[in-house]
Structure 1
C-alpha cells in the first residue's frame, strides 16, 4: 500500500520530468530550425567551417594541455590522494603480500582497457587478479583459489557490498532511486542505442546530397569522435587500474588470512609469551611492543635496560650477568606499552643461538649492544646474519627493525678523558674523533647504516650519556616495529586452535538447534 510521503515523492518526480521536457523540447527545436535558416540564407557552409575550426582548436588545446596532468592533480589534492591511496600497498603487509601486490600492479599495467568493455571481460579481469594473488600467497597448493574459510568469504562479501553501496549512493545519478525493475527495463531496451546508431548512419548517407556541407560535418564529427575516444581511453585505463587494485587488495586480505581475525580479537590479543611475563608481574593489558636487548656478555645490556626502564630495574647489582630472558615494563610518557626483554649473553653454543632466534621471532624491535672498545665481533656478526636469514625465509612476517647500540664509548682513547657532551659530527677533540671512528667501524662490521647506530655511555647510572638520542631512534623505528607487531599477532591468532574455541562453537550450535525446536509450531490433528 502506498504511503502519503511516497505519493508526494512520486508527484514531485513526475513534475520535475515534465518541467525538464518543457524546457528541453523548445531548445532542441532550435537545432533543425536554425539549420534551415542558415541553409536558406547561404550561411550554412560558413557556420560548419567555423564549427570545424572551433573543434580543431579545442582538440589541439587538449593535446597540448593533457601532458600537464600532474598540475591538474595538484589542483584537486583530495581526488589525487584518494586515487593514490587506492593503488598504494598497505604498510602493514608482509613481504610475501607485497610481492602479491606487485603481481597485481603488473597485471593492471599489461592489460588492454578494451577487455573491460563487456561484462564478461570485466569479470575475467577480476578473476585473473584473484588467481594472481592466490598463487603467490599459496604457491605450494594445487587449489590455491579455495584456501579460505566460510567466515572469511562472508567477511569479504560484506566488505565489497558495503563499498558498492557507498559507490551507488555517491557516484551513480539517481542511485538511491533506481529500483531493480527499472535497471532491468533499461537493460532490456539497450538495443535502442544500436537502432539509433543505424538511423544516424542513414542520415549521413542522405546528407551527401550537399557534398560540401556533408564533408565539413563529417570531418568535424570525426575530430570530435577522436578527441572523445582519446579522453575515454585515458579514463578507462585509470578506472581499470583502480578496479584491479581494489580486487587485488581484497584478495590479499582474504588469502593472507587477515579476515580470519576480527578487529576485536586483534585488539584484545595477548601472546602466550606476554601472558607469561604479565602473570609474573600480575598485570593484564593488551599486547605490548616487545623489545629485545641482545649482545655478548659484558657489553652493558642490563645497564642499558636500567637506563631505559626507569620504573623497574634489572638486577645488575646482585648478578654479574643476566642468566635467562627477563622481561621488564617499559614506561615512558607518550610511548606505547612495551616490554624490554633482557637476554643472556650470546656465545658459540648453537642451542643458545637457536633460543635467541625463537625469542627474536616473538619481538618487534631489537637493540643489539656491542662495546665500542672491543673488536671481538665475530660472534655478533654470525648471530646477526642468522637473525636476518631467519626472517628473510619467513615472508609472511616482517623482520623487527634493528638498532645498533655501541656502549663504553667513555673507555676509548684518551682513557683519562671523559668530558661530555660531544658533538660527534663537528667536534675536533681526539675523544670525539675516536668515538666517530669506533661507531663507523662497528656499523661496517655488523651491516648497519650510520643512522641505525647510536653511541651511549652508561658510566654514570644516574645520568647516562646520549640515551635521549637512543630514545629518538627508537621512536623513529616505531612505525616499522608496530607493523612487525601486527603481523606477529595476526600470525599468532589466525593459526591458534584451542579446545576452548571448539567447545564455544559446539555450544553455539547446540543453542541454535535447541532454538529451532522451540520455534517449531505445535501440530494439531492426526496425519492423513
Structure 2
C-alpha cells in the first residue's frame, strides 16, 4: 500500500477534527472568558449554585410528569375506537372468543413489547380463540387454502379503504417512489440528524440565551415524547394482535368457507324443500310459526299475510308444514305453518328439527291455556339441537301470546285502547308466559295479540318481525355455511376434472 493511501484516512480524520475545532473554538473562548469575568467579580459560586438548582428543578419536573403519566396510564382504559372492528354478524360464541383474546392482549400489551416477541404472542392468541370457539384441538394452520385466500382478499380490501381514507397523498405517490425512499432511509436519517445539529449551532450563534432556553425545553419535552412513542407502540401492537384475533374468529367460525356470492348459489339448493311444498320462486328467508294444537298458528299466519290462506277450524288443521309466500321489511319470505304439538315426543323432535333449519321462529302460545310445558320442552329441545354444534346460531324467537281477548272482560274496547285494568291483566299474562317458558333469550320478544276481529297489536308484531330481519339473515348465512356439502367423492372428482382441463 502506498504511503499516501495510508496517510489519507488519518488526514481525513484530522480534517474533520479541525472543522469541529473551528466551530467549537468561539464557544470555548466565550465560556473561558465568562468564567474569568465571574471569578473577577465574585459570581462563580452563585453561578454554580444556580446551575445545580436549575438542573435539579428540571429533573424534579421530569420525575413528577412521569409519575403523573404513569398513574393516568394505569387508570385510563384505551379508547374504544382503537380496538379492532367486530363483525356485527358474529354470534355469542364468536364474540365471547374475541373478548377472551382481548383480555389476554390487554395483559400482554400493558407496556411495549419487542417486535420479535409478537409472533409467539400472536400464536397464543390464535390458540385462545380456538379454545374459546370450541375448536381447541385445532392448530394454528388448520385452515384450507381457499379460506386463507378469502381472508387475504378481505384484509386487502379493508386495508385499501383505510389507506385511501386516512393516508395523505396515497393516490399520488407511486410504489417506485416509496421503494426509493425506503432504500435511502439511512441517508435521510443522517441528513435529518446533521441538519438538526446545524440548526442548534445556528440558533446558539444568533442568540445564546434563547438557545439555552430551547435546549431546556427540549429536555423537558423529551420525556413526554418518549412516553407518547411508548404508549403509541403498545396501542399499535394491541391493534395488530386484535386483528389476528378477529381473523382467527373468522377462520374457526367457518365464515371464510364461502364468499357472499357463493352463499347465494347455495341458497338455491337450500330452498329445494320449500319449492317442493309450494311451486313458487326461491325465497331467501324461512320463518316458521310453531306452537301447540289450536294455539292460533294458522290465524296468526292469516293475520301476517293479510288474507285467509291458511285453513282455520276448531280442530287441528295442520298435519304437515305448509308454506306461504310473503315479505317482511322488503325481504321475500317463506312463512311455514308447522304442525301443532300434541305432546308426543316424535312430533316434538320433528318440529324442533324443522325449526333448527328456520331463520326466525314465531312461537304461538294461547293466553287462556295454562298448560305450557309442551312449549317449554320443545323450545329447550330446539336450543339443545342448536347448541350441539358450536358453529350453529340460534334463530331469533318471537313469542306471540294469542287469544288475549278471552281474558279481558269488556272486550272489544273503543279503538283498541285498553283500560288500566286490562293492561295490568295483559302484563300479568305475559309475565306468566315468560316464567313458564323459563328461557329469557327466547321470551325477550313477547308480543300479546288478538287475532279475531277486531284484531289488536298485530301491527306491533309485524314491526317487531321487521326489526329482526337482519339477525334472521345472519342466521340464514350461518346455516348455509354449515349445511353446504364441501366434501363427497362426486363433487371432489368433478373438481379434479375441471382442474385437469
TM-score of the two chains, using structure 2 as the length reference: 0.73
| Aligned CA distance change for structure 1 residues 68 and 135 (closer, same or farther; 3 Å) | closer
> C-alpha distance in 1, partners of 2:110/2:183?
26
| Aligned CA distance change for structure 1 residues 172 and 439 (closer, same or farther; 3 Å) | closer
Q: Is the 8 A contact 2:352 2:379 kept in 1?
A: no
1:467 counterpart = 2:466: no
Query: Equivalences for 1:380-459 in 2 at 5 Å?
Result: 380-414=375-409, 417-423=411-417, 427-429=419-421, 431-447=422-438, 452-459=445-452
Structure 1, unmatched stretches of 5+, are: 1-30, 74-79, 201-214, 512-528
Deviation at 1:60, TM superposition (A): 5.1
> C-alpha distance in 2, partners of 1:303/1:343?
12
Aligned twin of 1:327: 323
Aligned twin of 1:28: none
How many residue pairs match? The answer is 442
| Aligned CA distance change for structure 1 residues 226 and 328 (closer, same or farther; 3 Å) | same
Q: 2:232 aligns with which of 230, 235, 243?
A: 235
> C-alpha distance in 1, partners of 2:263/2:279?
22
Deviation at 1:295, TM superposition (A): 0.8
Deviation at 1:327, TM superposition (A): 1.5
> C-alpha distance in 2, partners of 1:472/1:171?
43
Query: Equivalences for 1:197-346 in 2 at 5 Å?
Result: 223-270=220-267, 272=269, 274-285=271-282, 288-310=284-306, 313-316=309-312, 320-332=316-328, 334-346=329-341
> C-alpha distance in 1, partners of 2:51/2:369?
90
Q: Is the 8 A contact 1:292 1:341 kept in 2?
A: yes
> C-alpha distance in 1, partners of 2:185/2:97?
39
> C-alpha distance in 2, partners of 1:437/1:138?
40
Q: Is the 8 A contact 1:52 1:216 kept in 2?
A: no
> C-alpha distance in 1, partners of 2:27/2:468?
72
> C-alpha distance in 1, partners of 2:145/2:86?
26
| Aligned CA distance change for structure 1 residues 240 and 175 (closer, same or farther; 3 Å) | farther
1:360 counterpart = 2:355: yes
Deviations 1:104-130, CA, capped at 9 Å, x for gaps: 202211114666433x22333333323
| Aligned CA distance change for structure 1 residues 35 and 105 (closer, same or farther; 3 Å) | farther
1:89 counterpart = 2:86: yes
Deviation at 1:355, TM superposition (A): 0.9
Aligned twin of 2:107: 110
TM-score of the two chains, using structure 1 as the length reference: 0.70
Q: Aligned Cα RMSD in Å?
A: 4.6
> C-alpha distance in 2, partners of 1:246/1:223?
36
> C-alpha distance in 1, partners of 2:179/2:461?
62
Aligned twin of 1:145: 140
Query: Equivalences for 1:139-218 in 2 at 5 Å?
Result: 139=135, 141=137, 143-161=138-156, 171=167, 176-178=175-177, 180=179, 183=182, 186=185
| Aligned CA distance change for structure 1 residues 481 and 166 (closer, same or farther; 3 Å) | closer
Q: Is the 8 A contact 1:138 1:144 kept in 2?
A: no
Aligned twin of 2:474: 483
